[in-house]
Amino acid sequence: MRVDRVDIPVYDISLLRNIWEGREKKYKNKQKKEHERVQKSALAKINQQWQYRIACKKLKSNEVEVLQHYLTRTALTEIQPHQDIPNTDENPIIEGIKFIFELDGDKWIELPDNLLDMTYLREWHIRRTKICKLPEWIVQFPDLCVLDIPQNGIDKLPVEIGQLTKLRVLKVNYNRLSSIPPELGECENLERLELTGNYLEQLPFELSNLKKVTHLDIAENQFASIPICALRMTSLQLLDMSINMLTDLPEDMDRLEELESLFVHKNNMSYLPKCLVNITTLKMIVVSGDTLICWPSGLKENPAIKFIKLYDNMADEIMEGDDEILETRQDHHKEFMKTYIDTVKDRETAPTYTTKVSFSCCL
């Protein structure tokens, strides 16, 4: 009787695990490289430009200007460290007629000593320096009405700022603030407050006294909710809280009876409260279409309100029955592909980060 011999392979379970983990590691590295390639690609920027153009079709000229500022403002976070602008006399710029003081360049680590001799100044414009704090003697400038100090290293505002009773504009964008002094609430003539691109999680309740503020920009911070003081700024017309950590809006948003523009793009909100319909002055709302799934029907039905949904992930599926979004997104895809194909044809060489592919589309 003949017996056939059969060899049965026996594998060590650790060997199988190593093979599987190796494949998983390769897959993750491949995903990471693809993500980096997409970030470097020009497609994302072209896509954003077409979202902007589509949204502008239904806007008036002044509304387009506001939206343009909103979309382009966030590009400041990607600016590389500023290269100092040559200045032959190496002195700050003083415009005596308008009483304006200007300082620009990373060679400045503190304010010039002779500044104290010009207490008549009405405006300070200090940009892209290495100055980390404002001096306490700022109180000696009683006529100061504009304090514009973006893109510095300022991590604290002096409490003496509350004594600048004529201050109308305060811009401290893209600094290192983690808190705001309550004394700022004493600047009752303040009309414009911009604190974009800092590390703020809350604002002091004392800012509720700023009844003349019409423009409040606290985007690109770490707010989990709208500050209570913001809801008590009764003259507020524009509120920008985009790129924060909001999950919802308060049910008493209609306290802002003069609000015209509301920017809450790039947060974690899935719905908008019904009280927004009660704000009769509202003209524009900008939200993230990727996460928002529920909103009052009155916002879209009201022709006086521009309800703009911007998408970060254009591959997301559209809910069935939303014909308006579907039509807009289809037009967007067509215009986007047509523009991209035209730009590639005009180039002498293909971009180094692109991969040669073949595709067909119906435009």
The string of pLDDT tens digits covering residues 266-314 is 999 999 999 999 999 999 999 988 888 899 988 888 889 988 888 876 5
* pLDDT of the residue at 343: 55
pLDDT > 70: percent of the chain = 64
CA separation for the pair 12, 15 (Å, rounded): 5
Residue 137 backbone class (left: φ over 0; alpha: ψ -120 to 50; beta: rest): alpha
The pLDDT of residue 189 is 97
Higher per-residue confidence, 234 vs 25: 234
CB 97 within 8 A of CB 122: no
Q: Name the burial class of residue 169, with classes exposed (0-12), middle (13-18) and buried (19+) by CB atoms within 10 angstroms of its CB.
A: middle
SS3 55: helix
d(CA 267, CA 202): 16
What's the confidence (pLDDT) of residue 135?
Answer: 93
Band the pLDDT of 98: cuts 50, 70, 90. Answer: low
Looking at residue 301, its pLDDT comes to 85
Q: What pTM value is reported for the model?
A: 0.67
Please, are residues 134 and 154 in contact by the beta-carbon 8 Å criterion? yes
Q: Measure the CA–CA gap between 214 and 248, rounded to whole angstroms.
A: 22
The superfamily (CATH) of domain 43-335 is: Ribonuclease Inhibitor (3.80.10.10)
Alpha-carbon separation of residue 75 from 70, 197, 198, 349 (angstroms):
10, 11, 15, 27
CA 239 to centroid of chain Cα atoms = 12
Residue 221 contacts by C-beta under 8 Å, 6 or more apart in sequence?
A: 195, 196, 197, 198, 199, 200, 201, 243, 244
pLDDT for residue 40? 66
The alpha-carbon radius of gyration of the chain (Å, integer) is 27
Q: Please state the φ and ψ torsions of residue 99, each to the nearest 5 degrees.
A: 60, 50
The more confident residue out of 269 and 3 is 269
For the stretch 21-74, pLDDT in tens is: 777 788 888 878 777 776 666 666 666 666 666 666 666 666 666 666 666 554
Segment among 123-132, 282-291, 313-322 with least mean pLDDT: 313-322
DSSP lists the bridge partners of residue 69 as none
List beta partners, residue 125: 102, 148
